[in-house]
Structure 1
Amino acid sequence: MKTGDGWLAVWPVAAFFLGGLATQLTSWVNHRRQRAEQAEQTVADERKRREEFELAHLVEFNRLLRELHKVVRDLEAAKLQGASQEELAPFGAAMRSAQQDARGQVGFILSTTVRHCAEDALDYLGVAFKELEAERTPLIRRPIHSSVEKAYRSLSARVRELYEDRELLP
């Protein structure tokens, strides 16, 4: 037997083990890549659910704020037209209902800035309604108070921001 013949017998065994090791390494790398992709997908899915939740509540709060604002404007218009106390009575119930719905919804606004603007608008509309109801200095065609206008602007801006982010998602 020649001295090089021993090495010729070892090469197939070494190649077999190296092939198995390469297969294991490739499998491990693929597994890590799949886990990273799954983690990214989970984060994207959670972000999408959060945005859908936020969008739904922003739109709903905007609707409720408009409803509340309409009750105040309608009361003001009725007072300006000289409505009787009996005709004004339903406004109180409508206002309480609208306030309750809006206050219940404002907590679901995730953006702190938008939530504070919304709370300020609700406070302003509540005070304005009480002043009108008590016949103190009515709003009489005064433009929308800045806190209400600011709430509308911040709600709209946040909705636009969320939709702009969605266009960037795959």
Structure 2
Amino acid sequence: MNGWLTYRRQRKDKADESADALRQRREEFELQHLVETNQKLHAYLERFHDFTSAARKARMAEQQNRPHLDGALTTAHDALDEAEGALHGNVGFILDDEIRSKVRQAMTYIDLAAADALTGDSVPYGEVGRVINEAFGALSQRVRAIYADQPAA
């Protein structure tokens, strides 16, 4: 009887260790992608500001019949597209549906606001900022929650 109890306890311990290792791998994966997404969202936001500035300068030059550097706007647009692509490739790896949705919503707002900047419409910086801050807040809150759940080393 003692042998059977020992065997059962060892099996349970092994199953617990396996479940803990799986949880730890999941958390490492999630942390990596949350931090990368946060960094890529920051880069996308910076490229958005660069793009809106270049678009504003190009419009002002056109309105004043001054020559402007189309290359600067094209370069800013290409950088914005590159940052969006990098972020888009990362968003699908966010495990939490709500966080993934907030990041996608932030991307949509930036995309629409960039189109406004290009056409000369008023760019809703306040609304973009609000949605972006919600995404950043959700990302950082989840990172803190994961770290809070980890045992002290």
TM-score under structure 1 length normalisation: 0.78
Q: Which has the higher contact order (CA 8 A, sep 6+)?
A: 2
Question: Which range is displaced more, 66-75 or 144-153?
Answer: 144-153
Q: 2 CA distance for matches of 1:161 and 1:149? A: 18
- Indicate whether 1:52 and 2:28 are aligned: yes
Displacement of 1:143: 7.2
Counterpart of 1:26 in structure 2 is 2
Displacement of 1:79: 4.0
Where structure 1 has 5 or more consecutive residues not aligned to the other structure, the ranges are 1-24
Q: Which has the larger radius of gyration?
A: 1
Where structure 2 has 5 or more consecutive residues not aligned to the other structure, the ranges are 61-67
Q: 1 CA distance for matches of 2:115 and 2:70? A: 14
The equivalences for 1:74-85 within 5 A come to 74-81=50-57, 84-85=69-70
Q: 2 CA distance for matches of 1:73 and 1:130? A: 13
Contact 2:34 2:143 in 1 (8 A): yes
Coordinate RMSD, CA, aligned: 1.9
> Of 75, 78, 81, which aligns to 1:96?
81
Count the aligned residue pairs. 144
Q: 1 CA distance for matches of 2:56 and 2:77? A: 17
Counterpart of 1:153 in structure 2 is 137
The residue type equivalent to 2:40 in the other structure is L
- Indicate whether 1:86 and 2:90 are aligned: no
Counterpart of 1:14 in structure 2 is none
Displacement of 1:120: 0.5
Secondary structure of the residue that 1:138 maps to in structure 2?
Answer: coil
TM-score under structure 2 length normalisation: 0.86
- Indicate whether 1:131 and 2:116 are aligned: yes
Question: Which range is displaced more, 125-134 or 41-50?
Answer: 125-134
The residue type equivalent to 1:110 in the other structure is L
Q: 1 CA distance for matches of 2:55 and 2:141? A: 34
